[in-house]
């Protein structure tokens, strides 16, 4: 009994070793990022949950806003370069910062296109994880409008942004993110969203932020990954949400305010809430600003704010 008591005390102390750090925040610009919606999203988070899953983590705005104090945190994305950034920040933040600083000091249009072109040259796969992560972070912070987009061959193809004195990597942010990922023992996966939640148990909270269903024929943005996310994938996501609901998991989904999505989640187990989100990342200036989006959750008691 005494040994069990000591073990429980040690576990509590370990969890207390990390306190919420506002500097742990997104380290990339990201189309569809959720920073503007955080106060609203928090209203639909359960009071209690045992595990945290985010299968489409992106830049991690919700993850870093919550910084869940849970034994099990799992983040996932299909984007291999993005997941490499998370793992590199967790495992090797100092070397990453040093290389990002070099890129920042050499920043120019010519330097940008030379670095962007590395994934079109032989030997790209031999770059170290630090070299790959620093390259992606630099390209993201200096490309046009902060887009993350690849072509059908998986090659980064956003033009140069021509910003004055861009900050590529904030040391305080990178170190805070690294501390969070390590002290919370965050599992970082790359794979299919369905696989990533296969071990979610009753009481888990799963936040899905998939590529949005287009509200028009020209509005789709799935270029951050070479894998498209069309109607078939949206329907598969709904089926996964149903399965998680049957397991007793809490589910929250962000998506576009499209008739297809409203119809898809129109059954009685879900509530649909329309929200207005500010969007500053879009290749077309007229499409930036406040747009309608949906928050969809299975019916559980929500956190009061």
Tell me if 65 is assigned to some domain: yes
Identify whether residues 62 and 106 lie together within a single domain: no
Q: Are residues 111 and 117 in contact, defined by beta-carbon separation less than 8 angstroms?
A: no
The band of 228, judged by pLDDT with boundaries at 50, 70 and 90, is confident
C-alpha 193/C-alpha 261 separation (Å) is 18
Domain shared by 153 and 287, yes or no: no
Strands 250-256 and 289-298: antiparallel
Predicted local distance difference test score (pLDDT) of residue 64: 97
pLDDT at 281: 47
In a domain, 14, yes or no: no
Chain-wide mean pLDDT for the chain? 87
Range with top average pLDDT, 18-22, 172-176, 297-301? 172-176
Q: Are residues 202 and 279 in the same domain?
A: yes
Cα–Cα distance for residue pair 268/20, rounded to 1 Å:
36
Give me the domain span that covers residue 255: 27-78+191-219+230-298
Is 257 found in the same domain as 114? Answer: no
pLDDT confidence bin for 87, thresholds 50/70/90: very high
Question: How far is residue 139's CA from residue 210's CA, in Å, rounded to a whole number?
Answer: 23
Give the span between the Cα atoms of 236 and 15, in whole angstroms: 36
Residue 294 β-bridge partners: 255, 274
- Torsion, Cα of 16, 17, 20, 21 (10° steps): 170
In terms of domains, do 104 and 132 share one? yes
Q: Model confidence at 34, in pLDDT bands (50, 70, 90)?
A: confident
Same domain, 164 and 208: no
SS3 151: coil
Residue 261: CATH number of its domain:
3.40.50.150
Q: Are 230 and 277 in contact (CB under 8 A)?
A: no
Q: Is residue 51 part of a domain?
A: yes
CA gyration radius for the chain? 20
Per residue in 245-294, pLDDT (tens digit) is 999 999 999 999 999 999 999 999 999 999 987 655 444 544 445 678 99
37 contacts 277 by C-beta, under 8 angstroms: yes
38 shares its domain with 114: no
Contact 206, 53 (CB under 8 A): yes
Helix/strand/coil for 65: helix
| Residue 245 in domain | yes
Rounded CA gap, 87 and 158, in Å?
Answer: 24
160 and 281: one domain?
no
Tell me, yes or no, whether 73 and 199 share the same domain: yes
Same domain, 103 and 163: yes
Q: CB within 8 A of 22, min separation 6: which ones?
A: none
Residue 207 lies in a domain: yes
- Please choose, from the candidates 180, 220, 229, 172, the residue with its C-alpha nearest in 3D space to the C-alpha of residue 55: 229
Of 142, 148, 147, nearest to 161 by C-alpha is: 142
CA distances from 184 to 51, 110, 133, 206 (A): 12, 40, 22, 17
CATH number at residue 127: 1.10.1020.10
In a domain, 67, yes or no: yes
13 confidence band (pLDDT: 50, 70, 90): low
What's the confidence (pLDDT) of residue 146?
A: 84
213 and 128 within one domain: no
How many domains are there within the chain?
2
The pLDDT of 47-51, averaged and rounded, is 93
In a domain, 37, yes or no: yes
- On whether residue 2 sits in a domain, the answer given is no
Counted residue by residue, the chain has a size of: 305
């Amino acid at each position: 009994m005494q040994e069990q008591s000591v073990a429980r005390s040690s576990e509590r102390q370990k969890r207390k070793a990390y306190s919420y750090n506002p500097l742990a925040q997104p380290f990339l610009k990201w189309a569809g990022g959720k920073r503007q919606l955080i106060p609203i999203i928090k209203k639909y988070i359960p009071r209690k949950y045992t595990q945290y899953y985010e299968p489409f983590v992106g830049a991690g705005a919700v993850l870093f806003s919550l910084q869940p104090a849970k034994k099990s945190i799992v983040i996932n994305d299909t984007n291999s370069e993005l997941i490499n950034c998370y793992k590199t920040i967790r495992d090797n933040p100092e070397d990453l910062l040093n290389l990002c600083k070099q890129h920042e000091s050499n920043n120019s249009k010519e330097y940008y296109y030379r670095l962007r072109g590395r994934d079109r040259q032989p030997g790209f796969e031999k770059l170290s994880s630090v070299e790959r992560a620093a390259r992606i972070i630099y390209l993201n912070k200096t490309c046009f409008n902060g887009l993350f987009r690849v072509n059908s061959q998986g090659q980064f193809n956003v033009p140069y942004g021509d910003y004055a004195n861009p900050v590529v990597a904030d040391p305080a942010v990178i170190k805070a993110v690294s501390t969070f990922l390590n002290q919370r023992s965050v599992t970082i996966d790359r794979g299919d969203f369905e696989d990533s939640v296969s071990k979610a148990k009753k009481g888990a909270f799963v936040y899905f932020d998939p590529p949005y269903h287009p509200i028009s024929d020209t509005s789709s943005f799935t270029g951050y990954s070479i894998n498209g996310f069309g109607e078939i994938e949206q329907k598969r996501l709904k089926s996964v949400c149903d399965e998680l609901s049957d397991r007793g998991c809490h589910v929250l989904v962000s998506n576009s305010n499209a008739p297809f999505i409203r119809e898809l989640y129109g059954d009685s187990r879900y509530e649909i809430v329309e929200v207005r989100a500010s969007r500053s990342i879009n290749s077309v200036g007229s499409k930036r600003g406040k747009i309608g989006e949906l928050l969809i959750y299975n019916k559980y008691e929500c956190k009061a704010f």
